[in-house]
Structures are given as structure tokens and as C-alpha cells.
């Protein structure tokens, strides 16, 4: 059953931000759950909110539940995926099965987790304990504002949030009790535009930007190397315990012409922030290092998340041996700030967003069994 469900989920092209088959997948999953005795309800992001946050098309969220009363446990899973890109040897939306592996865009990130949660609810269809619920959301891959963000901000009165929350992200053999924050900055460097045949008549903003980028890289890396996190991280790489900085994910001249001395050159900085620090403070460090010929603006700022004393993480580690770690990337956990929320799910972590992405069907089935047992272990 796991392979059939996962194959069906992969067959829907739910690439964000377009989300052209969001509604089709949600309709399928709702019917699948209801056929197995699990009540489910679709909620659409309202037009006013969507116009501000996700103007690309409809954004449906699917709630499903078993049991009664206040929710003891909430599962969360995003059904959107990144575009497939190039380099595939199989159809990214076929869900090809080879032995224990099933291939396709989203197999690991995170339709495997969505399938495991749905299978767990089906196993709990006769559950008579406190409510166990799931919410399947869009848009995690583009920031989650119209997915988990909308769920927490707009729907917590209609659907109270569980005492414990598990996001079924592929967590690399651990249970994530937190994740790093992020600071995305765009730096604009100013010179003087002129004709390329007379370089003495201008002031090349690209050369100034290149020098500034190297300075910022070295200065920030030096500072960050002295501030080491006390937590364990998924990859185990020593740099994961520090703030990391990546220059030039986007870099361009605003004149964009070979025979022009660029008068303005822009580049981005991506900084990942350990939970011991505030992303807002790290952004200020960047501003303070800029010379008078450069300006910066924060494009995205996400504070780190940490649930160091998580009860559900303690139960998971004690029962199944998954160690508590922190994720180097960002997750929808940040929207559950103040709740006992962790990320824990199936998948091959190194395959997320890559061609020929796959997940083990047996691992999805294993997580479905653990998810179904988890509410029996919680208080």
C-alpha cells in the first residue's frame, strides 16, 4: 500500500510556486483518507492573504484527524516540491519503482513523509484516545507563508494546534529539535558608469564589488569561527557548528552590457545562523562592515528555531534511538515557535532537490508504524 500511495502522490506535479496540481493532489489524498475511515477537510487560503503572500494560484491545506478532544499530536507535511530541473534518467513524475526504491521529484522531500503520515492515520482510524491530527500544506519550498505560516497564523482557532508537533521532513537518521536561522542580504555597490572604451572616465562598480565581497567573506568567516554552537548538527561537519556565509548566489551589473563600465553592481550574501544567536544581530554586523560606496537591504530574515527541552524528541530518542540534532537548513518548524515541535521523517537527506531523487518504501512503512505508535507514548 505504501508504494501505491507514494507513486500516486509523486504523479502530481506540485512544483512551487506555480502549484498547478495542488488541488488535484489534495483532492486525491482527502478521498484516500476518507476511504479508510479518516475524516478530512480542505481549507483554502483566503483571497486577501493570498494576494499578499502567494499570488500564483489556489493554496489548499488538508486537515485530517482521528480521536476526540484537544489534539495531543499534530503531524505536518508539505506536499509541494521544487521543480524537477535537468539530469533525470527517469520521468520525475512517474514514481518509478526499482526494488525497495521509488524514484521521483519529492520522493524524499517530502512526499515520503506525507505518505508515512497518511498511512499512520489509516492505521489509527479506530483510535479512541485524544485527537491525533495532520495538516498537509503547500509552499514550504518557497518559505511556507501560505502553508504552515497560514495554518498557524489564521487557523489555530478553528483547528487548535497539537500539544506536540512532528513535521515529517527527512531528518537524516536523527530527530531535529531545531534549525539554523537565515539572513539573506542584497548588497549594491556604486561606482560611475561610462563607456568601456574609456575606462579612465568611469569607476568600475564590479571591481569594487569583487574586492568588497572578498573582504566580507574573510571578515565574517573569521568572526564566525570564534562563535561555536554547543549543539550537534546533521552533517557532523565542523563548520556546521558556526554561522556560515555564502557570497554571490546572485550577482549582476545593473547595466548588463559588455561595453559599459558598470556603475552599479549587486550581489547577495546568504548567512546561516546558529540557534545561540539572533539573525537580526547578524544582519547588523553586515551593515556595520559596509563602506560608504555600498548599501545593503535584507531580502529575507529567519530567526533560528530551537526546542531544546522537547518532550516529543525525548520520547522518540528513548523509544527508537534517534539522536537529537539541529538542521543546518531552514524548516517550517519556525512557525511553531513556542510549541513542542520537532522534525522527524523518512528520506535520503542528500538526495533532496537532486535529479533521480528516491526514497525507500520500507523506510516509509517503518515511519508509518512509528508515527502510529507515537501517540500511545505521549502525555
- From 302, 331, 350, the end of a domain falls on 302
- Domain range for 151: 2-178+305-377
Distance CA 337, CA 310 (A): 12
Same domain (yes/no): 213, 279: yes
CA–CA dist 10, 7 (Å, integer): 5
Q: Record the pTM.
A: 0.92
Tens digit of pLDDT for each residue in 182-239?
A: 999 999 999 999 999 999 999 999 999 999 999 999 999 999 999 999 999 998 999 9
pLDDT for the residue numbered 83 = 95
Same domain for 167 and 78: yes
Lookup result for grid cell 485530517: 64
Confidence of residue 170 (pLDDT cuts 50, 70, 90): very high
**Per-residue pLDDT tens for 142-169?**
999 999 999 999 999 999 999 999 999 9
Average pLDDT over residues 2-6: 96
- Rounded distance between C-alpha atoms, residue 240 and residue 235, angstroms: 7
d(CA 318, CA 328): 23
For 114-153, how does the pLDDT look when each residue is reduced to its tens digit (9 = 90+)? 999 999 999 999 999 999 999 999 999 999 999 999 999 9
Is residue 122 located within the same domain as residue 249? no
Q: Are residues 31 and 139 in the same domain?
A: yes
Over its C-alpha atoms, the chain yields an Rg (Å, rounded) of 23
Q: What is the pLDDT of residue 311?
A: 97
Q: What is the pLDDT of residues 244-271, one digit of tens each?
A: 999 999 999 999 999 999 999 999 999 9
pLDDT of residue 350: 87
Q: CA 315, CA 175: separation in Å to the nearest integer? A: 10
**Are 16 and 134 in the same domain?**
yes
The domain boundary, picked from 286, 302, 318, lies at 302
Same domain, 87 and 47: yes
User: With pLDDT > 70 as the criterion, what percentage of the chain qualifies?
Assistant: 100
- State the CATH number of the domain containing residue 127: 3.40.630.10
Backbone angles phi, psi at 60, to 5 degrees: -90, 140
Res. 379: pLDDT tops 90? no
Please provide the average confidence, as pLDDT, over all residues in the chain.
Answer: 96
Amino acid 25: pLDDT: 98
Query: Do 309 and 298 reside in the same domain of the chain?
Result: no
Q: What is the CATH number of the domain that holds 252?
A: 3.30.70.360
User: Residue 369 and residue 318: Cα distance in Å, rounded?
Assistant: 16
pLDDT in tens, 287-306: 999 999 999 999 999 999 99
Domain identity same for 203 and 352: no
- pLDDT for position 224: 98
| pLDDT of res. 186 | 98
Residues 295 and 318 in one domain: no
pLDDT at 280 over 90: yes
Stretch 93-100: mean pLDDT: 94
User: Which conformational region is residue 85 in: left (phi greater than 0), alpha (psi within -120 to 50 degrees), or beta?
Assistant: left
Band the pLDDT of 349: cuts 50, 70, 90.
confident
Q: Are residues 309 and 289 in the same domain?
A: no
Environment class of 89 (CB within 10 Å of its CB; exposed 0-12, middle 13-18, buried 19+): exposed
Give the count of domains, the chain: 2
pLDDT above 90 covers a percentage of the chain that reads 98
DSSP state letter for 109? I
Same domain, 261 and 162: no
Looking at residue 233, its pLDDT comes to: 96
Which H/E stretch holds residue 364?
helix 361-377
Tens of pLDDT along 30-65? Answer: 999 999 999 999 999 999 999 999 999 999 999 999
Judgement on whether residues 250 and 292 belong to the same structural domain of the protein: yes
Last-in-domain residue among 302, 318, 339: 302
Amino acid at each position: 500500500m505504501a508504494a501505491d500511495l507514494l507513486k500516486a502522490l509523486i504523479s502530481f506535479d506540485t512544483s512551487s510556486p506555480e502549484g498547478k496540481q495542488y488541488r488535484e493532489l489534495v483532492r486525491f489524498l482527502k478521498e484516500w483518507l476518507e476511504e479508510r475511515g479518516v475524516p478530512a477537510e480542505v481549507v483554502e487560503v483566503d483571497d486577501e492573504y493570498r494576494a499578499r503572500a502567494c499570488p500564483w494560484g489556489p493554496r489548499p491545506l488538508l486537515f485530517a484527524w482521528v480521536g476526540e478532544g484537544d489534539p495531543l499530536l499534530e503531524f505536518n507535511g508539505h506536499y509541494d516540491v521544487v521543480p524537477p530541473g535537468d539530469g533525470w534518467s527517469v520521468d520525475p513524475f512517474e514514481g518509478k519503482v526499482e526494488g525497495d526504491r521509488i524514484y521521483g521529484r519529492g520522493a524524499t522531500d517530502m512526499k515520503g513523509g506525507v505518505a508515512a503520515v497518511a498511512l499512520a492515520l489509516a492505521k489509527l482510524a479506530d483510535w479512541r484516545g485524544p485527537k491525533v491530527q495532520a495538516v498537509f500544506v503547500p509552499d514550504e519550498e518557497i518559505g511556507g507563508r501560505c502553508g504552515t505560516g497560514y495554518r498557524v497564523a489564521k487557523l489555530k482557532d478553528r483547528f487548535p494546534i497539537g500539544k506536540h508537533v512532528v513535521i515529517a521532513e527527512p531528518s537524516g537518521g536523527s530527530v531535529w529539535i531545531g534549525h539554523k536561522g537565515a539572513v539573506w542580504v542584497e548588497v549594491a555597490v556604486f561606482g560611475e558608469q561610462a563607456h568601456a572604451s574609456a575606462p579612465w572616465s568611469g569607476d568600475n562598480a564590479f571591481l569594487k564589488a569583487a574586492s568588497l565581497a572578498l573582504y566580507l567573506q574573510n571578515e565574517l568567516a573569521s568572526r564566525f569561527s570564534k562563535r561555536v554552537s554547543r549543539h550537534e548538527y546533521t552533517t557532523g561537519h565542523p563548520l556546521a557548528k558556526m554561522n556560515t556565509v555564502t557570497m554571490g548566489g546572485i550577482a549582476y551589473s545593473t547595466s548588463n552590457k559588455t561595453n559599459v563600465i558598470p556603475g552599479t553592481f549587486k550581489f547577495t550574501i546568504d548567512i546561516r545562523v546558529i540557534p545561540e544567536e539572533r539573525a537580526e544581530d547578524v544582519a547588523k554586523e553586515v551593515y556595520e562592515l559596509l563602506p560608504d560606496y555600498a548599501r545593503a537591504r535584507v531580502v529575507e530574515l529567519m530567526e533560528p528555531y530551537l526546542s531544546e527541552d522537547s518532550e516529543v524528541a525525548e520520547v522518540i530518542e528513548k523509544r527508537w534511538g534517534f539522536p537529537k540534532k539541529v538542521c543546518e537548513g531552514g524548516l517550517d518548524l519556525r512557525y511553531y515557535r513556542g510549541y513542542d515541535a520537532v522534525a522527524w521523517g523518512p528520506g535520503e537527506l542528500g538526495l533532496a532537490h537532486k535529479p533521480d531523487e528516491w526514497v525507500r518504501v520500507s523506510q516509509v512503512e517503518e515511519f508509518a508504524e512509528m508515527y502510529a505508535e507515537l501517540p500511545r507514548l505521549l502525555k
